[in-house]
Structure 1
Amino acid sequence: MNWKHVTAAAAMAAALAGAAPAAAQYAEGVAAIVNDHVISTFDVRQRATLLLVSAGIQSTPEMMQRAQAQALRDLIDERLQLQETRDQFEIVVTPEEIDRRLADIAQQNNTDVAGITRQLASDGISVSTLRNQIEADIAWSRLMSGLYGTRLRISEQEILATQQRIAAAATRPQYQISEIFLPAETPQQFEEMEQGAMRLLQEMQRGAPFPLVARQFSQAPSAAAGGDIGWIASTELAPELQPIAAQLQPGQVSLPIRTPTGVYIIAMRDRRAGAPAGAASVVSLRQITAPVARQNTLERLQRRIEGCDGLDNAVDNIEGALVIDLGQTTESDLSPVIRERISGVAAGQASPVVVDGEQVSTIVVCARQTGGGAVPSRQEIESRLREQELAMLSERYLRNLRREATIITR
């Protein structure tokens, strides 16, 4: 059964490459010691089996050997995460929290907790293996949110620049792509990653679904979504990926692609032509009006607006304010005055407040599309940038823990 994984794999996919791991040769006993905590060979075998089952990969002797090395790295990282969250920050994940997450996973897979437990048991896996993984995931997510959640700021300049870059790329070919990314730094790591990527391709050729393999092995933020990065302009891809993507047709998967930061496999799910040069931009607009005496209040609201959802409720405390739906139209059909007011206003943002006699008003750009390709809203861009930044901070923190820890592998 193909389980939807609870989190992106915490270890590097280098475990898939190189010589056969010694973990496969262990007698029952100690696989590793992490700051005086023992990881048993039984734990490693259990996690390796879960990893293969979750990715839909056939458990051949070779893949089991390599999955054990991956599992050991995962378990080491999770032990470091739990030691940090428990000992340094006193974060405790309750059994009830694990139960709820397990129930969510069961629902996603159209079963219940009893069904998951039976299926795992049929594959020789104790449900405690999955529960331990869930515990580490919840604890680490809570620590990252606590440390960076309120401090992480995505500037308006970053959001606007991203939206403008996407809008400017609307005339380029558009790809709907999924990715698997295996990071590398040294020449040896690059070689191992390329070998590992080839083995993943072989497993996918045998029927392992790309999304499940991505969830288990990709180190990109998109791993949690099965590698899906949605629609993207060709120029938004890394330069090394662009010529490869240009040749792929829907349903095709690339060979491993080396970039300065690691190795990619990309799958072309769909593609479409960009908008013709000079194509009309279609905008969806709403206008907020209020008495001139409420100008200051409206200006404060204008700076806080992040989309059109909930605008009616947002103006409830502004006496005499109205929200008017201006509909959807091509930008060229707007009056020159309105066009000027929304020029440079990103989707999800509001234009500066202007005074017109006894009234003040601002225009909210709910959405903007060029040639059928939507420019993401401010909220979508901010969420994407925040996710990328948090993933980078999380990996940096974990890398520091690895460097400072005493880790002995047998």
Structure 2
Amino acid sequence: MIPFFRYGFPLALAAALSSIANAQAVGEDEPVAQSGLNLPSTLTTFGKVEPTLRKATAIVNGEIITGTDVEQRLALIILANGGKVPDEERDRLRVQVLRNLIDEVLQIQEAKANKIEVTEDDINRTYARVSQNFKRTPEKMSEYLREVGSSDRSIRRQIQAEAAWSRLLRRKVEVNISDAEVNGIIDRLKAARGTSEYRVGEIFLSATPENSQEIFANGRKIIDQVRQGGSFAAYARQFSEASTAVQGGDLGWVRAAQLPDELAKAVQEIQVGQIVGPIAVPGGFSILYLTDSRKVLTADPRDAVLALRQMGMTFKDGMTAAEAQAKATAFAQATQNMGGCGKVEETAAKIGAEVVDNDQVRVRDLPPPLQEMLLKLQIGQATPPFGSQKEGVRVLVLCGRDDPQVSSDPSFDQIMAQLEEERVGRRAQRYLRDLRRDAVIDYR
């Protein structure tokens, strides 16, 4: 709700790992400047790596990152995308994974230089929470990771880096925000009551005039992968150069006026669930994904809780498309004219349908097409049939609705915390760039 949070930096590893691929903010396309070294700006190829082979891929201030480390982290990303990653995309992801691992090493090293340690107990507690997200014990989680070509070591190092970096920033970075600044935001929010705001995910790719065409092409490839079913959050964690990469690129709720003009126009032209870009912005390109939308400080109809009765019907194997269509048409006629929820059981018995009840369904949790249908229904009415010949068809009958309450204004403390998060995030981005600049990195 407050100004454009490209650089927000909450510590959110346990929550973010609900999708298993969760990486630190990405590196840059610029070469690492270090006197006496001639280092490449990017590493574009990797040899085949056996799981037990620990061949050095890069040495960062004396600390080795192996090809095995890269492959194990890559396996997490592939898993997050359902295993559907083309070979040429895997090669590009390997380059990005190496950059992420280099950043993690730099963060851990800098924390140690400032006498900040993340203990094994700290790491174990977070790893246990991650395992719980997958309904596994830590031991079973480690077995699962080995089965998919990764390891608990990869996630544990990521946990260590994120915790160390967060503690370092709390110690080293101070920001000052006045009460007047917070109150000014509260006043602007109240004045904007009823206007639209958007839940937006962003992948920011930095670019220079020299490499802008290459970066733009990379952005198009990311968009193509997401449209083919890839995880936007996983790609944001690997490629976005904003610190919101930790959160899968989530910017939170923003109003169009809070975004740069180029992004504001784009976000108002797409529908929930759509992706757009790459959009030229100062410093590079942005890819936007619209997760949700609502009205500022007003009740959102999609927060209503519904009581629904579902009627479902399956088709026999071997039934022709024409026969299935005829049966679905008869199903539609019976359910549209049955006379309300009290007739559901009787109608279902006549047409051979199954009934399932659920009286705690939030509209927002349903697929967007169903949201639109249900918001237009009166109590007792049913949706048109939906489904497929393979999975059968069903209708939802609306039996009750608890409308949402008017949204409360954000508190002074909430806005203060978000502003602090934004300022710390910007400082963190500069801090990490300085560490990259001064590091001695030997690629092998």
Query: Which residue of 1 is the match for residue 95 of structure 2?
Result: 69
Residue 201, structure 1, aligned to residue 223, structure 2? yes
Residue 98, structure 1, aligned to residue 123, structure 2? yes
Query: Which residue of 1 is the match for residue 309 of structure 2?
Result: none
Residue 100 of structure 1 and its aligned partner are, at CA, apart by 0.5
Query: Which residue of 2 is the match for residue 409 of structure 1?
Result: 443
Query: Which residue of 2 is the match for residue 296 of structure 1?
Result: none
Residue 121, structure 1, aligned to residue 146, structure 2? yes
Residue 24 of structure 1 and its aligned partner are, at CA, apart by 4.6
What is the SS of the residue equivalent to 2:290?
A: strand
Instruction: Show structure 2 runs of 5+ residues with no match.
Output: 1-16, 32-40, 299-404
Query: Which residue of 2 is the match for residue 11 of structure 1?
Result: 27
2:23·2:100 contact (CA, 8 Å) conserved in 1?
no
Residue 227, structure 1, aligned to residue 249, structure 2? yes
What is the SS of the residue equivalent to 1:23?
A: coil
Distance 1:140 1:273, change over 3 A: closer
Matches within 5 A, 1:78-93: 78-86=104-112, 88-93=113-118
For the residues of structure 2 that align with 1:153 and 1:204, how far apart are their CA atoms? 39
What is the SS of the residue equivalent to 2:252?
A: strand
Distance 1:102 1:189, change over 3 A: farther
Distance 1:29 1:73, change over 3 A: same
Residue 136, structure 1, aligned to residue 161, structure 2? yes
Query: Which residue of 1 is the match for residue 433 of structure 2?
Result: 399
For the residues of structure 2 that align with 1:129 and 1:72, how far apart are their CA atoms? 12
For the residues of structure 1 that align with 2:291 and 2:406, how far apart are their CA atoms? 18
> Which digits, 9 at most, give the CA deviation of each residue in 1:241-299, with x for residues without a partner?
122122112222213211113322222233346799xxxxxxxxxxxxxxxxxxxxxxx
What is the SS of the residue equivalent to 1:105?
A: helix
Q: Which has the higher contact order (CA 8 A, sep 6+)?
A: 2
Return the letter of the residue paired with 2:430: R
Residue 48 of structure 1 and its aligned partner are, at CA, apart by 2.1
For the residues of structure 1 that align with 2:55 and 2:292, how far apart are their CA atoms? 49
Distance 1:8 1:380, change over 3 A: farther
Query: Which residue of 2 is the match for residue 180 of structure 1?
Result: 202
What is the SS of the residue equivalent to 1:269?
A: strand
2:197·2:253 contact (CA, 8 Å) conserved in 1?
yes
Query: Which residue of 2 is the match for residue 146 of structure 1?
Result: 171
Distance 1:131 1:270, change over 3 A: closer
For the residues of structure 1 that align with 2:260 and 2:296, how far apart are their CA atoms? 18
For the residues of structure 2 that align with 1:405 and 1:383, how far apart are their CA atoms? 32
Query: Which residue of 1 is the match for residue 61 of structure 2?
Result: 35
Residue 170, structure 1, aligned to residue 193, structure 2? yes
For the residues of structure 1 that align with 2:116 and 2:201, how far apart are their CA atoms? 33
TM-score by length of structure 1 reads: 0.67
Query: Which residue of 2 is the match for residue 210 of structure 1?
Result: 232
1:6·1:134 contact (CA, 8 Å) conserved in 2?
no
Matches within 5 A, 1:369-388: 374-388=408-422
1:170·1:274 contact (CA, 8 Å) conserved in 2?
yes
Query: Which residue of 2 is the match for residue 156 of structure 1?
Result: 179
Query: Which residue of 1 is the match for residue 326 of structure 2?
Result: none
Query: Which residue of 2 is the match for residue 191 of structure 1?
Result: 213
Instruction: Show structure 1 runs of 5+ residues with no match.
Output: 277-370
